[in-house]
Amino acid sequence: METLPERPLRVAIVSPTFGGYGGMEAFACAVASGLPLGTGLEVRLYLKRVAAFALRPSLEAALVSLGGRVWFVGRASAALFRALAWADVVHAQNPSPDVVLLSRLLRKPLLITVHNRRLPGGGVRARLWRSCLRLANRRFYVSNYVRRSWEGEKSWPDSEVVFPICELASDPKPPAARRGFAFAARWIPNKGVDTLVEAYAGSGLDPDIWPLRLIGDGPLRPRIELRIREAGIRGVEILGFISQAAKVEAIRSARWMVVPPNTNEDFGLTAIEARHLHVPCVITRDGGLPEAAGGEALVCAPGDVAGLTECLRIAAAMPEAEYARRAESTYATLLPKLAGPPFYAEAYRRLAE
């Protein structure tokens, strides 16, 4: 008698979304697209519409590679219930009460990846989310900084820090082919673009040898452009919003990636993108950013113009051999921390057991 083939393990990845392609969507897409049917898993991505949802072209383009394995569902909806009922394992992004409580009601093994720190305050919502987090079978945090905000100094059982994955570029340029500094972020308060421009202006570096390329846009742009013009700051090139390919080329062409926020960053994906291209970072000691940037980064306090100026000068004066060592080490020390799709496939199988 011929035996029927064993059906694949069904995994529902559930992520809230405002409709754009942000860090959480990038992570969920990277895991789902990296686990096709041939792996013994059937993975579906369920994007849960939240308040003010508006589907943007950036997210639509990112979902093309997943074909028909993506569904949009509403909060606490019948469609969400059916999605969780279909699954053998649920992988939630953040401890949303509707996903957690429905998963427990249906007795589904639950993994939660926590992307955001717990905000101060002990209101009803904060207590509910923390209680829901405790109901998970396993918890992955994007940084120890995020984990401590939820669990305190001592980790709960079945919790660990796992760097989030996304699509990362390769093919770094040799150090001799790189010039200057790169910055990439939304131009909003506390992301550090204003601090960086002031620090660069005071650094006294040769603008031809050490240019500063600013990637991104936002409400601070008119003010920054006015400051550059009025102060006659040479060497600053404003690239604005550019394609992903152009962004990658700007990062791989830089000697250093500068990530100077003052926002209690949960992680710091830009630093990971740079490190994967062997580009070391200049950062602020902000939230989980030091974990993302690694031990080869040059570090100053958030919002410290003088400290950032000194870091830029140290970066520019660094001997070639020392820079080459840091460039190689910042990449080599990152690799063991990047958990790819096979890591998640094994985590799902262990949960299903």
Say yes or no: 162 and 138 in one domain.
Answer: yes
**Cβ(152)–Cβ(131) under 8 Å?**
no
Say yes or no: 225 and 317 in one domain.
Answer: yes
Lowest mean pLDDT segment, chosen from 4-13, 110-119, 225-234, 286-295: 4-13
CA 351 to chain centre: 25
Answer yes or no: is pLDDT of 2 > 60.
Answer: no
pTM, two decimal places: 0.91
| pLDDT tens per residue across span 274-302 | 999 999 999 999 999 999 999 999 999 99
Answer yes or no: is pLDDT of 86 > 90.
Answer: yes
Q: For residue 1, what pLDDT band results from cuts at 50, 70 and 90?
A: very low
User: In the prediction, which pLDDT does 58 show?
Assistant: 84
b/e map 172-186, b = 16+ CB within 10 Å: bbebeebebbbbbbe
What tokens does 287 get? 């939230």
Answer yes or no: is pLDDT of 75 > 50.
Answer: yes
Q: Which residues contact 258 (CB under 8 A, 6 or more apart)?
A: 181, 182, 183, 192, 196, 212, 281, 282, 283, 308, 312
Answer yes or no: is pLDDT of 4 > 50.
Answer: no
* Bridge partners, residue 283, by sequence: 259, 299
Q: Is residue 345 part of a domain?
A: no
Please say which residue of 166, 185, 205 terminates a domain.
166
In 196-240 the beta strands, taken as DSSP E runs, fall at 212-215, 236-240
Rg (CA), the chain: 22
As a whole number of angstroms, the distance between CA 279 and CA 323 comes to: 10
Q: Is residue 128 part of a domain?
A: yes
Q: What is the CATH number of the domain that holds 314?
A: 3.40.50.2000
Q: Is residue 58 part of a domain?
A: yes
The total number of structural domains in the chain stands at 2
As a whole number of angstroms, the distance between CA 34 and CA 65 comes to: 10
User: In the prediction, which pLDDT does 6 show?
Assistant: 79
Say yes or no: 161 and 16 in one domain.
Answer: yes
| pLDDT tens per residue across span 171-218 | 999 999 999 999 999 999 999 999 999 999 999 999 999 999 999 999
Say yes or no: 55 and 153 in one domain.
Answer: yes
Report the mean per-residue pLDDT for the chain: 94
User: In the prediction, which pLDDT does 5 show?
Assistant: 54
Q: Is residue 350 part of a domain?
A: no
Please say which residue of 109, 139, 166 terminates a domain.
166
As a whole number of angstroms, the distance between CA 71 and CA 28 comes to: 13
Say yes or no: 82 and 61 in one domain.
Answer: yes
User: In the prediction, which pLDDT does 210 show?
Assistant: 98
Q: Is residue 346 part of a domain?
A: no
Count CA within 13 A, CB hemisphere, residue 124: 0
Q: Domain containing 209: what range?
A: 175-335
Q: Which residues contact 295 (CB under 8 A, 6 or more apart)?
A: 329, 333
Please say which residue of 110, 133, 166 terminates a domain.
166
User: In the prediction, which pLDDT does 243 show?
Assistant: 87
pLDDT cut 70: percent of the chain above it:
99
Say yes or no: 266 and 312 in one domain.
Answer: yes
User: In the prediction, which pLDDT does 89 show?
Assistant: 98
| pLDDT tens per residue across span 122-173 | 788 889 999 999 999 999 999 999 999 999 999 999 999 999 887 788 999 9
Say yes or no: 83 and 30 in one domain.
Answer: yes
Q: Is residue 352 part of a domain?
A: no
In the chain the beta strands, taken as DSSP E runs, fall at 9-17, 41-49, 70-73, 89-93, 110-114, 138-141, 159-161, 181-184, 212-215, 236-240, 256-259, 281-284, 298-300
As a whole number of angstroms, the distance between CA 106 and CA 123 comes to: 28
Lowest mean pLDDT segment, chosen from 2-16, 86-100, 115-129, 243-257: 2-16
As a whole number of angstroms, the distance between CA 333 and CA 292 comes to: 11
Answer yes or no: is pLDDT of 327 > 90.
Answer: yes
Say yes or no: 156 and 247 in one domain.
Answer: no
Q: Is residue 79 part of a domain?
A: yes
Say yes or no: 187 and 280 in one domain.
Answer: yes
Say yes or no: 115 and 26 in one domain.
Answer: yes
As a whole number of angstroms, the distance between CA 291 and CA 297 comes to: 10
As a whole number of angstroms, the distance between CA 250 and CA 198 comes to: 21
As a whole number of angstroms, the distance between CA 158 and CA 56 comes to: 36
Say yes or no: 21 and 157 in one domain.
Answer: yes
As a whole number of angstroms, the distance between CA 19 and CA 41 comes to: 26
Q: Is residue 321 part of a domain?
A: yes
Say yes or no: 40 and 157 in one domain.
Answer: yes
